[in-house]
A and B are shown apart, each in its own frame.
Chain A
Amino acid sequence: MNVQLKKGVLELCVLAILDHRNCYGYELVEKISQNIAIAEGTIYPLLKRLKDEGYMTTYLEESQEGPPRKYYALTELGKCTKRRLEQEWNEFVNGVDRVLKEDAWDEQK
């Protein structure tokens, strides 16, 4: 899969997970890597960028297993962006789907 496209999709995945509930970094990494094949190390730079650009904020919360964990929460801008990207993604997928189906139709002919 194209690296740049994958990055864009990852951004949407992160925003979508956090739209559901606030998570710490490792939770996000696990959720994504269970479904998409990626180098887990690439998620943290993305998280930092999304934070720097104002899509989310972070806060520390104590954990029972040791030092506090850094949690990520969406800002209003993050929530809006998630909705916009999700819509764009759906349009994209549907478009690709239509193209693929047209190809199948050509072969049958």
Chain B
Amino acid sequence: MSKNEFLKKLDKALAEVPENDRKEILYDYEEHFRNASAAGKTEVEIIDSLGDPESIAKQYLTGNSGKKAETKRLFLAIIAGNGLAFKLCTALLLGILALEVFTLFHQKQVLENQRSYQHQNLVAALQEYQRQAKFINPGAYAGLMKIATNAKHNREAIKKAGEIIAKVQFNTLPVLKIASLAGNADHEVRHLDDLLVVTITYGEGSLKDSMKMVELAKKAVNHEISETKLETAIKYYRAQSRAKSIEEAERNMERAFENL
């Protein structure tokens, strides 16, 4: 079997997985092939150590049909039982109980966070995004909830961050960073909204550029650059992304930062 055959088989076996999810899964394996062959492995060796694509696909499908907790339950159960066979029944019950308690505790924490939050509208907006987004990234969402809970200002920026995170799977770190800066700022920064949109729309896939945007946000929040200058930088950055050649893009980028 070749790399392409492996990926094709995996893709076919994942037919019932939503397209975005499936694309991301295939991307993971393409990345694996890239990195493993950079490490000097042959295609045959890589496929051998990965295992059968159909049984890999099965694992994603089990995860999808709500059996996610099964593994955890068994693990907890085995641990609680300390390996003694006659305790297995009690252990299973204990394991399930432990998991339920843990889940309840987690839910309670989220609810308490929400209750202490003053801007109910913002929380409602974030929840709406969560409902709309099919492939929400819960880690990023949890981070966002935390930011929203403590934020006094720049509500619009945080709301926008929720909207953006609901749409993207990758590169959520810079968005979270900007949202966090916005949340902690003791004043409104008008152009943070634009900055967030630029970070993802134009800087997608490029963490280097996204991090430049985070720097800009930091400066804007700390009053090191004015709102007007921030606006200019955003404009230039948009121009850069529409540039026809890399040289032109780089020139525009340089000008953007000289203007600060």
Contacts and interface: CB of A to CB of B under 8 A. Distances in A.
A41 B231 CA distance: 46
Contacts of A4: 70-71, 74-75, 78
Interface string A33-74: 100000111101111110111111111111001111110010
Given A41-B50, A45-B63, A56-B139, A26 B71 contact: no
B137 A58 contact: yes
Contacts of A68: 205-207
Contacts, number: 156
A98 B13 CA distance: 45
B139 A51 contact: yes
Given A40-B51, A77-B142, A57 B137 contact: yes
Interface string B55-98: 11001100100001011101110110011100000000000000
A42 B140 CA distance: 24
Interface residues of B, number: 53
Contacts of A52: 63, 68, 138
B34 interface: yes
Contact of B173 (A33, A48, A57): A57
B18 to A, nearest CB: 12
Dominant secondary structure of chain B at its interface with chain A = helix
B207 A60 contact: yes
Given A5-B74, A68-B207, A26 B36 contact: yes
A89 B82 CA distance: 10
B29 A44 contact: yes
B254 interface: no
A29 interface: yes
A39 B50 CA distance: 5
Interface string B16-51: 000000001101110110111011000000000111
B170 A59 contact: yes
A46 B75 CA distance: 14
B139 A5 contact: no
Contacts of B31: 24-26, 67, 69-70
B244 interface: no
A38 B31 CA distance: 19
Given A4-B71, A44-B56, A51-B137, 15 more contacts: A9-B75, A40-B49, A40-B50, A44-B29, A51-B139, A54-B139, A56-B139, A57-B143, A59-B171, A59-B172, A61-B207, A62-B206, A65-B35, A67-B31, A96-B82
